[in-house]
Amino acid sequence: MASTMDSNMLGLGGGNETDRLALLAIKAQIHQDPNRPVMSSWNESTHFCMWHGVTCSRRHLQRVIKLNLTSLKLSGSIYPHVGNLSFLRELSLYNNSLTNKIPPEIGHLLRLRILRLENNSLSGPIPANISNCFNLIILDVSHNMLGGNIPPELGSLSKLEYLSFLFNNLTGEIPPSLGNLSSLGSLDAYSNNLVGSIPSSLGQLKKLTHFSLESNKLSGTIPPSIYNISSLVGFIIGINQIQGSMPPTLFRTLLNLKYFCISDNQFTGSLPLSISNATNLVVFYVEDNKLTGQVPNLQKLCTLVTFHIAGNHLGSGSDGDLSFFSDLTNATQLVWLIIASNNFGGTLPTSISNLSTLTILEVESNQLHGSIPAGIGNLVNMKSLALSGNMFTSNIPTDIGKLSGLGGLHFQNNGLSGSLPFSLGNLTSLVYLEMQGNNFNGTIPTSLGECHSLLVFDLSRNNLSGHIPPQVIGVPSLSISLNLSENRLSGSLPLELGKLKSLGELDLSNNMISGKLPSSLGSCLSLEILHLEGNFFDGSIPSAMVSLRGIRDLDLSRNNLSGEIPEFLAGFRDLEKLNLSFNDFWGAVSIKGVFNNASATSVVGNTRLCGGISDLHLPKCKSKESTSRSMKLTILLVSAFTLLGIAMLLTFLFLCFSKKKCKVTSSSTFADSILQVSYNTLLKATDGFSATNLIGAGSFGSVYKGVLGEDGAQLVAVKVFDMLRRGASKSFLAECEALRNIRHRNLVPIITACSSVDFRGNDFKALVYEFMENGSLEEWLHPTTGTEDAPMNLSLVQRLDIAIDVACALDYLHNHCETPIVHCDLKPSNVLLDNDLTGHVADFGLARFLSRLANNVSANQSSDIGIRGTVGYAAPEYGMGSEVSTYGDVYSFGILLLEMFTGKRPTDHMFVDGLNLHKFVKRAFPERVSEIADSSLVQVGKPSQSTNDALEECLSSILGIGVACSVEFPIDRENIGDAVAELKRIRATLVG
């Protein structure tokens, strides 16, 4: 009996059988990689002490003391029977794919010293009874999906030296009881969801060398007791919400500190002067806090490898802020120097050239100025150089080409100038080249074609000129972005563009590139964003672009493209934004795909398009039969009109020549001094017809804001005609003819005209008007949503005044000119408002003289040009071939009046099935006019009944005039002179 007892105590009896059964139960719950059956040894043919990963004790025979199944690609769960291995000292199951919970039975392992379960997929809480394993030295459950709180009971593990919870989902506060772990050397709870403040009890951990609580949700301040742990080597609490300041004496206590990271918190105050005592410091990382003041002396930090103070408020914005760069020359191992997004001023010290070990230098988003030091080429180990968002000027030093290992060059948004150095081509490791938003001129160096690792290439918003080098645009590595927009690049698009098969974004907008779109563009199969707007491309959209099926944003607007819009664009499922406006496309517009969304598609300024959904406001397409019949007539008319246009041009030139001969020198007023302006004058006045000065665009050209005179004496609006558009020349002549001899306070004042050639020898024609400060009536009636400005709104009296202004202008044109003039395109966008909101009728590009029509057009023919206004505003008789008349202008005025006081466009989507704006108002007239009136006119608080009655009577009278002017039959429409008199009477009554 005694012998049996002794054998059991030695583990030769039932104890070892217990271990064997426990191991078999564990095996049953674990699945191994079939390609690596490492647990195949766990079978009855060998003793369990010989199984893979199992170690038995020599003292206690056949009792398992170590189970190590690390990095075996095991899955399944940890079976609770592991708690029966009562002699177990080490349980290491890390680097596998184990799931489910940590079994509480582990708390039965009283001899356990090492518990390593990291890098699995374990979930659930940390069992509190692990605290029963009072011999634990290492507890590592990092890189799992554990949740719940940190058990306070763990504070009883007095022998624990290493505790790691990093990369889990732990919540709650840090238990103060962890301050009882008197043997603890490393505490790591990085990347959890811990909240609350750091317990001051942790300051009792006098053996602590590594302290990491980064990436949690901790708040409050750091207890002073933590700063007194002199044994600390690593102090990392970044990415929390901790506040307060660092004590001035911080680094007098933490003399052993090598790693200091408090990034992404809310620390205030200045950097401690005692930092000079931290002579062992390797990493100093205080990014994204609220620190202020200057950087203290760093001369003694000889071991520094990383100095990262970005995203604070350091510096004074004045010279000398970067004097500490000279201190860092003693840091012979410095690799990262990052001071971005601060308030540093002054120049970049020449001592920077002595920091030859640097691989990353980031000084962007400060207030640095001056030139880039020539010695920058000494930084031969540089991988990323970021100077963007400062005020650097002058040229890029040519020795920058010595940085052959440079991967990122970020110089954007400075004032750098001169030409791009050819030596940039030596940077063959470049991945990011960003120089946008500077003043670089000259051409793009062909040597950049040698940079075969480029992913991002951005030279936009500069003054670069010349052709796009084929060597550059054909760099096949470009896969993220190629942006050369807003320069002065010319020539055609190289065929080498087709080599960019992996490119995601291509932006060449707002240059002077011409020619046809190359078919090779269809080889850029990965394109998602393609912007070519604001150039001189002509011809049709190549059919090869059918392969760009991943395109999301396509902008070809403001070019000279023509032909039919390809049907394949409607089949692009990912296409979210399509802009084809202001080209010369013709034919039917699809109603499928992106074309079925008016907010995602723009085709304005293409006067020969038809069809599409109603929200695009295009005319209906004619049938093929009627089209073929009209072709012959069109050919005859074009021939006749060409001869007529030549005759008109000769007449105009003759009149201009006669005027020049008879010209008498006038007084030296500003207007007289600029009656004759050149192309160069207008180019300078509009800053090169800059897109920032563009204030509008129409069928035949664009309007730019400009300043004329040496002292900027007068703001003007310059209407530049696109001479490549059919009808533009006739429109210019028509507008000149109409405005030559008419003057009225309600017509937009014209200053002069320019008929010349541009710098490329192309015809250039422009009209110069006085600038109207308050834009167009269209902008006031239908303001663009989403702007930061206060909403634009016109009161009832202001609208009435503008309506009277427009009516007076028409009355003058129809009844008080030597030859009656018909405007032919009256609409809100052609009514401009000056500083006093006085209305001025503009755009006489379609205007007609009635006497000429009477002599040259028979009663049953169209007028001399087929366009007679804008859909919704043009008189209905024009659509049936009737000739131009003053009745047509009266109809347009009536619609304009109804729009001004109802707030509804005549093309509103509600007007279908025969309903139009005229009928809509007429149905509500006169009893329900307040219901259809613009809400801003009737929502005036709580007025009295008498005020309501007066308002309704006023609206009823105004809308009645609009209805009378817009009746269907011309002869039944109200005379414009009578309309002026009635509107003035209503105004007199309204204002008393």
SS3 of 808, please? helix
- Please check whether residue 326 is in contact with residue 299, taking contact to mean a CB–CB distance below 8 angstroms: no
CB 499 within 8 A of CB 522: no
Between 826 and 789, name the one with better pLDDT: 826
**Helix/strand/coil for 134:** coil
Position 455 scores a pLDDT of: 92
- Which of 343, 375, 392 represents a domain boundary (last residue)? 392
SS3 state at 490: strand
Handedness of CA 873, 878, 884, 890 (dihedral sign): negative
Do 247 and 346 lie in a common domain?
yes
- What span, in angstroms and rounded, lies between the C-alpha atoms of 27 and 954? 92
Is residue 7's pLDDT more than 50?
no
For residue 12, pLDDT beyond 70: no
Q: Which CATH number is 969's domain given? A: 1.10.510.10
pLDDT at residue 629, rounded to an integer = 52
What is the helix (H) or strand (E) element at residue 272, kind and residue range? none
How crowded is residue 425: how many other Cβ atoms within 10 Å of its Cβ?
19
Q: Give the Cα separation of 764 and 679 in Å (integer).
A: 7
Indicate whether 961 and 828 sit together in one domain: yes
For residue 488, the cross-strand partners are 465
711 and 841 assigned to the same domain? no
- Please state the rounded mean pLDDT for residues 182-187: 96
Label residue 804 left, alpha or beta by phi (over 0 means left) and psi (-120 to 50 means alpha). Answer: alpha
Is the pLDDT score of 507 beyond 80? yes
Order the strands of the 97-99 sheet from edge to edge. Answer: 30-31, 75-77, 97-99
CATH number of the domain at 350, please.
3.80.10.10
pLDDT tier at 847, thresholds 50, 70, 90: confident
Helix%, strand%, coil% for the chain, nearest 5: 30, 20, 50
Q: Inform me whether the pLDDT recorded for 639 exceeds 80.
A: no
Q: How far is CA 253 from CA 183, 249, 298, in A?
A: 20, 7, 17
Residue of 648 and 355 predicted with greater confidence: 355
Residue 778's pLDDT band (cuts 50, 70, 90): very high
Instruction: Give the gyration radius of the chain's Cα atoms.
Output: 40
Write the pLDDT tens digit of every residue in 262-297: 999 999 999 999 999 999 999 999 999 999 999 999
Q: For residue 674, what pLDDT is reported? A: 38
Residue 808, both tokens: 């007076």
Evaluate if residue 783 carries a pLDDT over 90: no
Same domain, 861 and 879: yes
Report if residue 11 sits inside a domain: no
Reply yes or no on whether the pLDDT at 855 is more than 70: no
Range of the domain at 285: 243-392
707-738 per-position pLDDT tens digit: 887 666 688 999 998 888 888 888 888 888 77
The residues pairing with 101 across neighbouring beta strands, listed in sequence order, are 123
Tens of pLDDT, residues 653-709: 544 444 433 233 232 333 333 346 888 888 888 888 888 888 887 778 889 999 887
341 pLDDT above the threshold of 90: yes
User: What phi-psi label fits residue 37: left (phi over 0), alpha (psi between -120 and 50 degrees) or beta?
Assistant: beta
Confidence of residue 862 (pLDDT cuts 50, 70, 90): very low
Of the two residues 158 and 924, the one the predictor is more confident about is 158
The answer to whether residue 242 scores a pLDDT higher than 80 is yes
Q: What ranges in 183-268 are assigned the alpha helix state H?
A: 250-253
Same domain membership, residue 951 and residue 805: yes
The per-residue b/e assignment along 389-414, b for 16 or more CB within 10 angstroms, e otherwise, is bbebbeebbebbbbbeebbbbbbbbb
Q: Is the distance from CB of 661 to CB of 673 less than 8 angstroms? A: no
Q: Does residue 971 belong to any structural domain of this protein?
A: yes
pLDDT of residue 645: 56
CA angle 823, 824, 827 (to 5 degrees): 90
Q: What CA–CA distances, in Å, run from 428 to 453, 476, 501, 502? A: 7, 14, 20, 19
pLDDT band, residue 215 (cuts 50/70/90): very high
Sole residue written with tokens 């090869």:
544
Q: How far apart are CA 918 and CA 194, in angstroms?
A: 67
Residue pair 155/177 in contact by the 8 Å Cβ criterion: yes
923: phi then psi, degrees, rounded to nearest 5: -65, -35
**What pLDDT shows up at residue 104?**
95
Q: Of the listed 19, 321, 805, 825, which one is catalytic?
A: 825
Q: What is the pLDDT of residue 315?
A: 95
Please identify which residue in the block is written with the tokens 């930090």.
301
Do 880 and 954 form a contact (C-beta atoms < 8 A)?
A: no
pTM over 0.85, yes/no: no
Does 682 share its domain with 811?
Answer: no
| Helix H or strand E segment including 737 | helix 728-739
Let me know whether 753 and 829 are in one domain.
no
Residue 979 within any structural domain of the chain: yes
How far apart are the C-alpha atoms of 698 and 705, rounded to whole Å? 15
Residues whose CB is less than 8 angstroms from the CB of residue 716 and which lie 6 or more positions away in sequence, other chains included: 685, 705, 706, 707, 708, 751, 768, 769, 770, 771
Is a pLDDT exceeding 70 seen at residue 898?
Answer: yes
pLDDT for res 640 = 54
Write down the mean pLDDT value for the chain: 87
Which CATH number covers residue 695?
Answer: 3.30.200.20
- pLDDT exceeds cutoff 50 at 788: no
What percentage of the chain exceeds 70 in pLDDT?
Answer: 89
Return the axis-axis angle of helices 728-739 and 624-662, rounded to nearest 10°. 50
Three-point CA angle 60, 63, 65, nearest 5°: 100
DSSP 583-603: SEEEEEEP-SGGGG-TTTEE-
Residue 41 confidence (pLDDT): 86
pLDDT confidence tier of residue 858, bands split at 50, 70 and 90: very low
CA distance 780 to 768: 23
Mean pLDDT of 912-934: 85
Please indicate, yes or no, if residue 179 is contained in any of the structural domains.
no
| Euclidean distance between CA atoms 880 and 861, whole angstroms | 10
867 and 767 assigned to the same domain: no
Question: Is residue 569 within 8 Å of 552, Cβ to Cβ?
Answer: no
Length of the chain, in residues: 992
pLDDT of residue 852: 46
Q: Is-catalytic flag, 825?
A: yes
User: Using CA atoms, how far apart are residues 668 and 566, in angstroms rounded to an integer?
Assistant: 56
Give the pairing type, strands 336-338 and 360-362: parallel
Cβ-based neighbour number of residue 550 at 10 Å: 15
Residues 753 and 890 in one domain: no
Per-residue pLDDT band for 923 (boundaries 50, 70, 90) equals confident
d(CA 363, CA 390) in angstroms, rounded, equals: 8
Looking at the structure of the chain, the number of domains it has is 3
Q: What is the largest CA-CA distance in the chain?
A: 143
User: Of the candidates 376, 392, 408, which is a domain's last residue?
Assistant: 392
For 481, phi then psi, to 5°, come to -155, 140
Q: What is the pLDDT of residues 958-983, one digit of tens each?
A: 999 999 999 988 988 999 999 999 99
pLDDT tens-digit series, residues 555-608? 999 999 999 999 999 999 999 999 999 999 999 999 999 999 999 999 998 989
Q: Cα(728)–Cα(689) distance, rounded to whole angstroms?
A: 18
> What is the Cα 39 distance to its own chain's centre?
55
Does 797 reside within a domain? yes
Residue with tokens 């493209």: 561
| 177-201: average pLDDT | 96
Helices (H) and strands (E) counted in the chain, each on its own, are 18, 52
Under a CB-based contact definition with an 8 Å cutoff, are residues 468 and 445 in contact? no
| Beta carbons of 102 and 151 less than 8 angstroms apart | no
Q: What is the pLDDT of residue 947?
A: 65
What's the confidence (pLDDT) of residue 816?
86
> Considering the domain boundaries, does residue 563 fall inside one?
no
The DSSP H or E segment spanning 15 is helix 14-28
The verdict on 793 and 908 lying in the same domain is: yes
What are the structure tokens assigned to 296, written together?
A: 């203290």
Say what the pLDDT of residue 294 is.
94
Q: What is the structure's pLDDT at 866?
A: 44
Residue 13 lies in a domain: no
Domain boundary among 739, 771, 803: 771
| Spatial separation of the C-alpha atoms in residues 583 and 577, rounded to whole Å | 17
Domain co-membership, 791 together with 739: no
pLDDT tens digits, 625-634: 444 555 555 5
For the four alpha carbons of 141, 142, 148 and 149, in that order, the dihedral sign comes to positive
Confidence tier at 6 by pLDDT (50, 70, 90): very low
**Between 38 and 303, where is the model more confident?**
303
* 375 inside domain: yes
Q: Mean of the pLDDT values across residues 123-133?
A: 96
Between strands 750-757 and 821-822, the pairing is unpaired
Burial class for 244, CB neighbours closer than 10 Å (0-12, 13-18, 19+): middle
Q: What pLDDT is attached to residue 234?
A: 94
pLDDT reading at 942 higher than 80: no
- Same domain for 889 and 874: yes
What is d(CA 787, CA 729) in angstroms, rounded to the nearest whole number? 36
In this structure, are residues 174 and 198 in contact, taking their beta carbons and an 8 Å threshold?
Answer: yes
